[in-house]
Chains A and B, each alone.
Chain A
C-alpha cells in the first residue's frame, strides 16, 4: 500500500470535524477534568475552523462529546442568533448531523459564551462554556511557574488579599464577570466571563459543566452536585447584577439577567429564547417558531 493510498483511505470529512485520535485525546482530558473538579487540565488544543478566542476550545469540547443523537443549542451572550453562535452551530450541525434547537430544555448539549440559560438544566444535559482566560489568579500573578505552585499548594492568599484590598479601596468587590469561585473546596476556578448572576447556578448543579479554553490549551469541569462557592467574605455578601426597577421590555421579566437598551431607555433579557417563550401570545402568528425545519 502506498502512502497516498493510505491517505486516500481516510474519510474526506470526519464525524465532528476532528479526527478520532484528537477527539479521544480531548475526552481523556475531560475525564481528568471531571475527576478533579476545577483543576485546569492541559490538552493539545487543535486549530479549529474558527479563530482562537472565538470559541475554539468550546467547539473542541463539544465535538469531542457530541454524538449524532444529540441535540445542540449554541448561544453567544444568551442569544441563539448571535453571528458567532450561528457560525459555531453551523459547524457543529454540518459535521455531526446532530439536531439543533434554541430551547434550552430540549438540548442535550448547550455550548455557550458568557451565559448560562435561565431555564434550569437537568442531569441529562451538559453545558459547554467557551473560556477566554482559564486562569483565575492571573490578575494577582503573571508568572506561570508561580501560578502552578499556587494551585498545587492551594495557596490562594494573594487573591483573597486582592479581594480585601478591592473592598477597602472601593467599598465593594469590583470584579464584574468571571468571578473566582472555589470548587469542591479545593481549586479556585475562573467562571469564564459569565456574569455573577449565573455563578450560583453552578453550585450543586444537576448538570455537567465543561469549560474549554482553546487558545490557552486547558479544559476544566464542574461535575453535577459539586460545591461552587464564590470567593466572598463572611460579612460581605456576594452580589449579583441587579438594577432597581429594571424589567424586560419584551417579557416583563424582573428575575433574569437583563441587558440595557439605551435607545429605548430600558432593559431586555439576554436569554432570547427564554424571553420569547414568556412573551404574551400577541405574536401568535410566529407561534410555530420552534418547529424544526429539517
Chain B
C-alpha cells in the first residue's frame, strides 16, 4: 500500500485486526468446529440466516464463529458475501401449504383441524440454569464427548425429523398418506375461509414477490415487499416495534389470536435451464405464522376476521409472530400513521446498527462547523442585546419610544 502519509491509519487497523484474531483464534480451549455451531447453537445460526436473508447453515455458522457470536455482525458477513456472488437462478414460488411441519400449534382452537404438534420448543422447559450439569457434564476440552452423539432426549409428542443436511432430499412424493396429513395439515384459515369468516384480500396486482434486494422499498410498496423486509429484519427490531405499538406512545396494535405457528421445511425449486421444468434443489427450514385479527374498527367489516402473515428463515417464532402482527397492523392502518414507514425503513439490523456505530467515526469536520454556528448564534445574540440596550438608552434620553427592531443582520 501506497504512501507514508496514509500509513498511520493502515498500521492501526492492521494492529486492531491482529488483536481480534489473536484472542478469537488463540486461547487454551479447542477451536470451535462449524458442526458444533450448527448442531448446538442452531437457534443462533438460524437467526443469522433469517436476518441475513440467506439460507446457508454452514456459512452462517462460519460467520457466527468469525463474529465471535455477534449475530448482527454475522448476518452482515453473510450478506456481504452474497453481494459478491452472481445470482444464478430465481426460485419458483412455492405455496406455503407445501411446508412439511416439524412443529405446529394452533392457539385459537383446543382441537383444531390437524395436529397440535409441540415438536422442539423451549416454551415449557423450566428456565432453570443447569449449573450442576455444566460442572459434571462434558467439558469442551473433552474430545470424545465432542465426537460422540448427544444423549438423546425423550421423544417429543411427534418424533422429530432428523436435522437437515445442507441440501437434503425431500421425502418421495409417494409418502404414506397418513404421514402426508400429519406433516402437511390443513390450515385453520381454510376452515375460517370456508365459513366465510375471513375478509378476502386476494388481489391481482402483486403477483410476483417484490425483490427488496433489487428494488429498494419505500412507503406504498406492495405487501410482498413489506413481508420481505420483515423476513430479513432484525428480530429485536420487530419485537420492539410490535411492543412499542402495544404499550408505547404512538399507535395501537391489539393482540391477535394466532391461527398457526409452524416450523418446518419448504422445498426450493428453480426452473432447469435445459428442460425448463421446475427442479427441486433442496429445502429450507422456515417459521410461519398466521395471526387472526379481530376487525373491530368502526369502519371495518365487524363480522369478519382478517389475517396477518409472518414467515422467516430458520426457527424463530418470536420474529414470525411479530411480523404477522405488524403485517396486519400496517394493512389496517391503511397509511393513516407512520407505521408502514417504520416497518419498511427502520427494522433492518444492518442499517440500524451500522448507522448507530458510525457515530464512532471521526466527526471533527462537522463538529468544527457546529462550533462555528454556536459562535455565530452567540455573536448575533450579543449584537441584538447591544442594539436593544442602545435603543433603550436612546429612548430614555430622547424621551420617546421606538419600536423594537427585528433581527439584525449579522456582520462577522
* Chain A residues engaging chain B, CB cutoff 8 angstroms: 3, 6-7, 10, 13-14, 17-22, 25, 42-49, 51-54, 56, 76-87, 89-90, 93, 99-102, 113-115, 132, 142-145, 148, 167-168, 170-172, 174-177, 193-197, 215, 217-218, 235-236, 239, 241-244, 257-260, 270, 272-273, 276, 286, 289-294
Contacts and interface: CB of A to CB of B under 8 A. Distances in A.
Nearest to B375: A243
Contacts of B373: 172, 174-176
B366 to A, nearest CB: 5
A79 B86 CA distance: 35
B86 A10 contact: yes
Interface in B249-284: 281
Given A44-B213, A100-B2, A143 B338 contact: yes
B298 interface: no
Contacts of A78: 365
A171 B381 contact: yes
Contacts of A144: 218-219, 341, 345
A258 B371 CA distance: 12
A115 B363 CA distance: 11
Contact of B380 (A101, A113, A172, A195): A172
Nearest to B368: A259
B184 interface: no
Contacts of A7: 85, 88
Contacts of B187: none
Given A47-B79, A47-B82, A167 B88 contact: no
Closest A-B pairs by Cβ, 6 of them: A171-B380, A52-B354, A53-B358, A86-B9, A51-B354, A47-B79
Contact of A257 (B354, B365, B371, B377): B365
Contact of A51 (B6, B10, B350): B350
Contacts of A218: 216
Contacts of B341: 142-144
B361 A76 contact: yes
Given A145-B219, A177-B366, A290 B3 contact: yes
B354 A3 contact: no
B5 interface: yes
A52 B372 CA distance: 29
A199 B177 CA distance: 72
Nearest to B356: A53
Nearest to A83: B9
B218 A42 contact: yes
Contacts of A82: 9, 362
Contact of B10 (A49, A86, A195, A272): A86
